[in-house]
């Protein structure tokens, strides 16, 4: 994996393996990626807290990994997951973090 482009991090896209919804994007460093692989649960590196972050550690809404795929230049990860707990991935209480629709302007 190429962690050099973002100072030791790669973006990690989390997709629901049943609904195919994109649930959230976090970041992993090498340690978070290794932990995700070893445990089978998504672990990010928290940029704000500057530490490893097992997603759902306190809420119980962990993300069980079904598959991990890297992209063509090995600088991004796609994790397809099963949502545990109440299934709400976002800290705002919604299933996905992507809830703010942007109105498109004129298409050419």
Q: Interface with a copy of itself includes 50 (CB under 8 A)? A: no
Nearer to a copy of itself by Cβ, of 30 and 37: the residue is 37
As given in the structure block, the two tokens for residue 72 are 């063509």
By CB under 8 A, the count of residues binding a copy of itself is: 42
Among 31, 59, 67, 85, binds a copy of itself (CB under 8 A): 67
17 dihedral zone (left: phi>0; alpha: psi -120 to 50; beta): alpha
- The C-alpha atoms of residue 89 and residue 62 are separated, in whole angstroms, by 8
**Sign of the Cα pseudo-torsion (49, 54, 58, 64, in order):** positive
Contact footprint for a copy of itself (CB under 8 A): 5-6, 11, 13, 15, 20-22, 24-25, 37-40, 47, 64-65, 67-74, 76, 78, 90-92, 94, 97-102, 104-108
């Amino acid at each position: 994996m190429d962690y050099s482009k973002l100072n030791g991090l790669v973006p990690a896209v989390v997709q629901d393996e049943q609904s195919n919804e994109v649930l959230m994007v976090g970041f992993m460093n090498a340690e978070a990626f290794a932990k995700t692989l070893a445990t089978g649960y998504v672990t990010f590196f928290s940029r704000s807290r500057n530490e490893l972050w097992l997603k759902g550690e306190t809420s119980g809404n962990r993300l069980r990994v079904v598959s991990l795929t890297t992209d063509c230049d090995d600088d991004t990860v796609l994790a397809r997951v099963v949502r545990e707990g109440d299934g709400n991935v976002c800290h705002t209480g919604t299933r996905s973090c992507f809830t703010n629709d942007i109105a498109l302007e004129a298409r050419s």
